[in-house]
Amino acid sequence: MFLEAGLLTRRSVRQFESGKKISRADIEDILKIAMYAPSARNCQSWEFIVIDDDTLKNKIAEVHPYAKFLKDASIAILVCGNIKEECDSGYWVVDTSAATENLLLAVHGKGLGACWCGVYPNENRMKDISEILNLPDYLKPNGLIVIGYPKSFPSQPKDRFKVEKIHYNGFSR
Ligand SMILES: Cc1cc2nc3c(=O)[nH]c(=O)nc-3n(C[C@H](O)[C@H](O)[C@H](O)COP(=O)(O)O)c2cc1C
């Protein structure tokens, strides 16, 4: 099935062809798919900060210890929770995580590559990146999604299906 094939072949991409642009139409297609994710009580408590400015990319790469490859990527999208819009306290984390997975799959579907670089719950990373981007207090960064044209595609994932992770009617091991 086509859908299943797409879902099973997504990998994190960390090597990009530098200097290549992603069109605004592609960025908005990707974000449209992100916004179709489920969210608690359909509150859609997310905001997406698109970063294509080289100075900002470099500043973020300096403060994020595991996103140095952002320097070569075309863009990053910081997926943020808007705590003014979440329906119940703390739901921004799950709403934005659901949107992020949709986003990653949309990128993959376009033949681009992406890597989710964790920001939440690391308080230093949240603070440093919020300061660089001048975010208001009510926006909480969850993940920094680095996106670009893959230099090479990572190998296919090893089989991750583990039947022992499935428990019917309770947990047993
Ligand atoms: C919450 C979260 C944080 C992550 N943070 C980083 C990161 O900071 N840097 C990085 O290179 N990869 C990061 N990753 C990517 C994971 O390392 C990757 O998803 C995992 O190794 C599985 O590989 P795959 O995405 O290719 O299937 C993160 C993934 C998640 C879900």
Q: What is the predicted pLDDT for the residue at 153?
A: 85
CB of residue 12 inside a 6 A radius of ligand 1: yes
Which pTM value belongs to this model? 0.97
Cα–Cα distance measured from residue 11 to residue 28, given in angstroms and rounded to the nearest whole number: 21
Whether ligand 1 lies within 6 angstroms of the CB of 140 is answered as: no
* pLDDT tens, residue by residue, 51-85: 999 999 999 999 999 999 999 999 999 999 999 99
- Give domain 10-150's CATH superfamily: NADH Oxidase (3.40.109.10)
Tokens describing residue 143: 């993940």
CA-based torsion, 38, 76, 114, 64: positive or negative? negative
Q: Supply the residue whose CA is at minimum distance from atom 8 of ligand 1.
A: 117
How far is it, in rounded angstroms, from Cα 110 to Cα 168?
A: 37
The Å distance, Cα 117 to ligand 1 centre, comes to 6
Backbone angles phi, psi at 88, to 5 degrees: -140, 150
The domains of the chain are located at 10-150
7 — alpha (psi -120 to 50), left (phi > 0) or beta?
Answer: alpha
Question: Is 67 near ligand 1, meaning CB less than 6 Å away?
Answer: yes
